[in-house]
Amino acid sequence: MIRATDTSDDALFHSLHADLVLVGHPKPGGLPDDWSAETMLLATGVPVLIVPNGWTAGTIAENVVVAWNASREARRAITDAIPLLQKARTVSIIVVDAEANTNHGQEPGADIALYLSRHGINVMVEQVRSDGRSIAGTIMDRALLLGADLLVLGAYSHSRSREVLFGGVTRSLLKSAAIPLFIAH
C-alpha cells in the first residue's frame, strides 16, 4: 500500500511489486503529495486504474471500452487489462479516424479483436469519425453512449513533449475523466 506520507522512492518501490495502482481523480489519494497518476505511470510502468472521485455507478469493468490506435502503448494497455476484459460483460474496441493511421491494416480493429478472441474475450469493433471534435472527446462521448464503466487506453503514444505542447488524448482524458480509466504505457 502506498500512502500520501510515503516518499517518492517508497512509492516507486511499492508500486514495482504490484499488478495495478489504484488512485482517485482529480485528487489521487494514496500517492505521495507531489505525485500524480501520470507521474506514477511514467516512473514505474505499472498500469494505473483511475477512479473519478464521486464515482457512484457501483461497478467497474462490466462494460469496457478500449481505445485502439494501433500503438505499442495501446497494445500494452490491452495486454495489462486482459484479466478485467475476460470478466467483462461487454467489450467494445473504438477506433477513431482509422483512415488517418496506416498502422491499422485493412480492417481497423479486426486484428486486435482477433487477438482478444484468442483470450476468450468477445468484442465488438466500432470505427468512428471525430468530424472535427477532439479524439479524446470522441472516445469519451462514445464510451458514455455505450454505458461504459471503464475505458482502457495506452498513455502517451505520442512523445510526452508533444503531448505537453499540443495537448493530447491522454492528457485530455486524464483532465476530464467521467468514468474510470485503465491506463498503461
- Tell whether 124 is covered by a domain: yes
Q: Is the dihedral of CA 71, 76, 79, 83 positive or negative?
A: negative
Would you say residue 106 has pLDDT above 80?
Answer: yes
The pTM of the full predicted model, rounded to 2 decimals, is: 0.86
The structural domain count of the chain equals 1
**R_g of the chain computed on alpha carbons:** 16
pLDDT tens profile 7-34 = 667 777 777 788 888 877 766 666 666 6
Task: Determine the Cα–Cα distance for residues 12 and 32; give it in Å rounded to an integer.
Answer: 10
Instruction: Please state the rounded mean pLDDT for residues 125-148.
Output: 95
Distances (CA, A) of 84 to 66, 78, 91, 152: 12, 10, 10, 10
Q: For the chain, give the percent of residues with pLDDT over 90.
A: 50
Q: Where are the extended beta strands (E) located within 6-104?
A: 21-25, 48-52, 63-67, 90-96
Cis-peptide into 26, omega within 30 deg: yes
Q: What is the CATH number of the domain that holds 153?
A: 3.40.50.620
Is the residue at 180 inside a domain? yes
Quote the Cα angle for 178-49-20, to 5°: 175
What range defines the domain where residue 120 resides? 57-184
Cβ contacts of 116-124, under 8 Å, gap ≥ 24? 116/78, 116/82, 116/85, 116/91, 119/82, 119/85, 119/86, 120/86, 121/82, 121/85, 121/86, 121/88, 121/91, 122/91, 123/66, 123/91, 123/92, 123/93, 124/90, 124/91, 124/92, 124/93
Tell whether 133 is covered by a domain: yes
Report yes or no on 19 lying in a domain.
no
Least confident of 39-53, 135-149, 158-172: 158-172
Is residue 164 a part of any domain in this protein?
A: yes
* 165: in domain: yes
With respect to residue 52, please indicate whether it lies within any of the assigned structural domains.
Answer: no
Q: Is residue 131 part of a domain?
A: yes
pLDDT-derived band at 46 (thresholds 50, 70, 90) equals confident
For the chain, count helices (H), then strands (E).
7, 7
